[in-house]
Amino acid sequence: MSTPKHTPGPWHVGLRPGPMVYGPQGEQIVGINVMLDQDEDLANMKFIAAAPAMYEALKELVAYLQDHVADEVLDNWAPVLKAACAIAQAEAKS
């Protein structure tokens, strides 16, 4: 799998000057167009801000399962394949 070109995490949510997800150096990752209710906007921002951590955790989990778990132990690899596809989607070149 290739290395994505996104801003590395951790990301965090900030509400000033407006709803925004910021990178580790304070760089703006994404602003949220406030068209939903405030609770939904905040939930969306928290989800976006968690993306780098979820990506890294998913990569580590898939690699661990592929390297350390035998087919006899894990009888359904479909969720692992689904996770690997999600990783590939995140790493896709546009």
Q: What distances in angstroms separate CA 65 from CA 57, 68, 84, one per listed residue? A: 12, 5, 11
**What is the predicted pLDDT for the residue at 22?**
92
Residue with tokens 């939930």: 43
pTM of the shown model: 0.77
How do residues 2-22 score in pLDDT, each as one tens digit?
Answer: 566 788 899 999 877 777 899
**What is the predicted pLDDT for the residue at 55?**
94
How do residues 44-80 score in pLDDT, each as one tens digit?
Answer: 889 999 999 999 999 999 999 999 998 888 889 999 9
- Structure tokens, 39: 């609770």
**What is the predicted pLDDT for the residue at 3?**
64
